[in-house]
Amino acid sequence: MPVRQVIRSGKVPVKVWTKDLDEGSFRQLKNISQLPILHSHVAVMPDAHLGIGCTIGSVVPTIRAIIPAAVGVDIGCGMMAVQTNLKSSDLPDNLRSLREDIEEAIPLGPGRAHRAAVEFPEQEELHARFEEFSSRHAPVKKLPRKSDWIRQMGTLGGGNHFIEVCLDENQSVWLMLHSGSRGVGNQLAQYFIQLARKDMKVHQINLPDRDLAYLSEGTRHFEDYVAAVHWAQDYAKLNRATMMRLILQVVKRHFPQCRAESVQVNCHHNYVEKEHHFGQDVYVTRKGAIRAGEGEMGIIPGSMGTRSYIVRGRGNPESFNSCSHGAGRRMSRTAAMKTFTMEDLEQQTEGVELGRRKAILDEIPGAYKDIDQVMADQEDLVEVVHKLKQVVCVKGD
């Protein structure tokens, strides 16, 4: 579907790919459209829902400035999927031991780390880059110890992060995961969000929401934020690749014939990059959106009881070559905990090998939008290459 509605109350229009937009998101989009740093328009994907300052599902092009809180606190959060040579017929009826072995191999939940660091070849390069920008920021240098972020490489985190074993429409087995830059990304984000707020006060810039504070080119902290955010984005991508390597090792213990096929996708959905759109070089912040340039592969996950999609971008310029990053929440975590029961979770995830517990009730499929409707709303943004349905799901608390 093309753009479903346009909000025209700000300095630039907001083009929305869904009619299913909650009141809070509508207010946030009106706020962000008032900023003087925007270019052309703001694009909003069909999975849009309320965020902090910036609506999740937004694609925000800015001129000579970046909004750190729009990039978010899980810098570089995203997805990775790998097709294997296994078929559904290779899998046993009971997948509990596979799930438990994955849970044993991958530290799950906030703050968790490997007891001993997992080796990865980019370690020294990452350390040198971190030292370079942190040397100018004493608080940053004190925040994450090298031993902490190295031991968190290859770990999942909590919330909506997950690991899944899936089957596609041809009964091929896929491995898929969702994670980001872990504790170090959060700490860097929080630090620069505070600096952006201070900059707004120094320059006496009034904002409709303090979480829309931005750093501008030429100001004291801008270049260091760019270095930090790209560092965290690279860390997040490596974290997913490292985790996938560990998961493949587990799967191979269960199925020695397993190997990864050539189809592998690793994409961010909370990040910023410099791109060229509508005649202007801009910083494009995708807050809960993935890049979907023509021919580019991406991943759009559903909830833990519904389908996910491997997609190919159509390169739609109106969306700044973007599409949704998932189904999108239709209710908050608090509301989900109050609305649903463990019996609901059992029913809505039937057929999925899952460690069902109260701590993940807020991730119940009923708390999310209908992924099939989300996909229908963005037919002009992506084409579906594969449809995946999970048979194993691992969640962090």
Whether 325 is a known active-site residue: answer: yes
- As a whole number of angstroms, the distance between CA 364 and CA 393 comes to 12
- As a whole number of angstroms, the distance between CA 288 and CA 57 comes to 4
Q: What is the pLDDT of residues 155-184, one digit of tens each?
A: 999 989 999 999 999 999 999 999 999 999
- As a whole number of angstroms, the distance between CA 331 and CA 197 comes to 29
Q: What is the pLDDT of residue 138?
A: 80
Q: What is the pLDDT of residues 12-57, one digit of tens each?
A: 999 999 999 999 999 999 999 999 999 999 999 999 999 999 999 9
Average pLDDT for 102-113 = 94
pLDDT band for position 146 (cuts 50, 70, 90): low
* Whole-number average pLDDT of the chain: 95
Residue 383 makes CB contacts below 8 A (sequence gap 6+) with 311, 312, 314
Contact 173, 88 (CB under 8 A): yes
The amino acid at residue 295 is: G
DSSP annotation string for 319-384: GTSEEESSS-BSS-HHHHHHH--HHHHHHHTTTSEE---GGGGGG-GGGB--HHHHHHHTTTTEEE
Q: What is the pLDDT of residue 349?
A: 93
| Residue 180: half-sphere exposure toward Cβ, Cα within 13 Å | 30
How far lies 20's CA from each of 32, 59, 375, in Å?
19, 17, 13
Exposed / middle / buried, residue 267 (Cβ in 10 Å: 0-12, 13-18, 19+): buried
How far lies 29's CA from each of 22, 332, 388, in Å?
11, 18, 32
- As a whole number of angstroms, the distance between CA 41 and CA 59 comes to 9
Q: How many residues does the chain have?
A: 397
pLDDT at 115 over 90: no
Q: What is the pLDDT of residue 315?
A: 98
In the set 161, 178, 268, 325, the catalytic residue is 325
- As a whole number of angstroms, the distance between CA 320 and CA 323 comes to 9
Q: What is the pLDDT of residues 335-391, one digit of tens each?
A: 999 999 999 999 999 999 999 888 899 999 999 999 999 999 999 999 999 999 999
Residue of 163, 162, 175, 164 whose CA lies nearest to 84? 175
- As a whole number of angstroms, the distance between CA 274 and CA 142 comes to 29
Instruction: Give the domains, in start order, of the chain with CATH numbers.
Output: 5-395 (3.90.1860.10)
Residue of 248, 287, 278 whose CA lies nearest to 264? 248
Report CA 378 to chain centroid distance, whole Å. Answer: 18
Model pTM score:
0.95
Q: What is the pLDDT of residues 263-289, one digit of tens each?
A: 999 999 999 999 999 999 999 999 999
Of the listed ranges 216-220, 230-234, 244-248, the least confidently predicted one is 216-220
Q: What is the pLDDT of residue 147?
A: 67
Tokens of residue 230, six digits: 């790209």
Q: What is the pLDDT of residue 65?
A: 99
Sign of CA dihedral 167, 172, 173, 179: negative
